[in-house]
């Protein structure tokens, strides 16, 4: 039992490192989850902006197109189409359609970049969660070792108490034998 106890105590020396690793790993996973949520929000906003602008260029959002119509009831963008210019629906200035297309391309590229970053972040989170599961398994094993160590210590104490009782009995019996002889 003492050999088992010593072996279990030797194996328990890295428990502090395991706790620190698990704690820092949990903090990192939480930080990455927050970053992924921010990316999700940014991606959603970018997609909404891109979709709105595409609808405006296509003239498919009839309510907004109707709101942009001039006094003569002709669409402002239709008035400008021969010159290949449109009225910007956010600032009201005349701009070339290819500048808006260029800006949309930049927004699409940024959106794709954010999607790629999110995918990478999700992979990293998955890796960290796997690592966390391994550390949690090791922690459970360590807890089982500590329970076993406590059981061994208890058993050693019981046996030592029994030995003391038996030695006392032996002493008493030895005295009794001496008296009887």
Structure tokens at 79: 């008035």
The C-alpha angle with vertex 167 and arms to 164 and 171, in degrees rounded to 5, equals 140
At 82, the pLDDT band (50, 70, 90 cuts) reads very low
What are 3-39's pLDDT values in tens digits?
888 887 876 666 666 777 888 999 999 999 999 999 9
Non-local CB neighbours of 101 within 8 Å, separated by 6+ positions = 57
Tell me the sheet residues that pair with 165.
none
pLDDT tens-place string over residues 110-162: 999 999 999 999 999 999 999 999 999 988 998 899 899 999 999 999 999 99
Predicted local distance difference test score (pLDDT) of residue 12: 63
């Amino acid at each position: 039992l003492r050999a088992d106890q010593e072996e279990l105590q030797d194996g328990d020396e890295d428990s502090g490192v395991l706790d620190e690793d698990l704690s820092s790993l949990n903090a990192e996973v939480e930080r990455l989850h927050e970053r992924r949520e921010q990316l999700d929000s940014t991606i959603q906003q970018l997609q909404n902006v891109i979709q709105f602008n595409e609808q405006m260029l296509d003239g498919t959002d009839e309510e907004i197109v109707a709101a942009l119509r001039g006094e003569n009831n002709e669409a402002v963008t239709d008035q400008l189409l021969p010159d290949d210019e449109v009225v910007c629906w956010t600032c009201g200035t005349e701009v070339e359609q290819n500048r808006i297309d260029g800006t949309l391309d930049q927004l699409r590229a940024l959106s794709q970049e954010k999607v790629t970053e999110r995918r990478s972040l999700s992979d990293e989170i998955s890796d960290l969660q796997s690592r966390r599961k391994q550390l949690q398994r090791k922690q459970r094993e360590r807890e089982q070792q500590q329970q076993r160590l406590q059981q061994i210590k208890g058993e050693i104490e019981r046996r030592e108490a029994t030995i003391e009782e038996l030695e006392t009995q032996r002493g008493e019996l030895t005295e009794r034998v001496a008296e009887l002889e």
